[in-house]
Amino acid sequence: MGTPGETVPADLRELAAAGGSGILWRLREDGRQLDANLVQLRPGETIGTHAEPDLDVLLVVVTGAGTLTTGDGAVEAGPGTLVWLAHGRARSVEAGPDGLTYLTVHRRRPGMTIGRR
């Protein structure tokens, strides 16, 4: 694998404005060390309580607003809000009345390998 170029692959505000639900964009460049996803939730839509066991995650709100609930309580999040989610900690996300679009960034998971035991 080569070294990826220094590029800005997407304008997140334009992608969010196009609408939709679910993952609108993801970082796909070969040779990257990070994963990133732009996620859009419709008004009132939720991502239930879950925990990422191995990776810390940064979450940045791009548009809309919502509530991020962790073991530390609920955080009202709007455009520009940055939240660090430590690995192993449970969290849930609920979009507000105008929906919620956010970017998550974390270290890329290593690929699975087949080997001897």
Output the pTM of the full model.
Answer: 0.83
The pLDDT profile of the chain, 117 residues, written as one tens digit per residue, is 444 455 656 788 888 888 888 999 888 777 888 899 999 999 999 999 999 888 999 999 999 999 999 989 999 999 999 999 999 999 999 999 999 999 999 988 766 556 565
Q: Would you state the pLDDT for residue 81?
A: 97
Per CATH, domain 34-107 is 3.40.640.10: no
Q: E strand or H helix at 60, and its extent?
A: strand 57-70
Domain boundary assignment for the chain: 34-107
Q: What is the pLDDT of residue 94?
A: 98
How far is Cα 100 from Cα 63, in angstroms, rounded to an integer? 6
CB-count exposure of residue 83 (10 Å: 0-12, 13-18, 19+): middle
Q: What are phi and psi of 115, to 5 degrees?
A: -150, -175
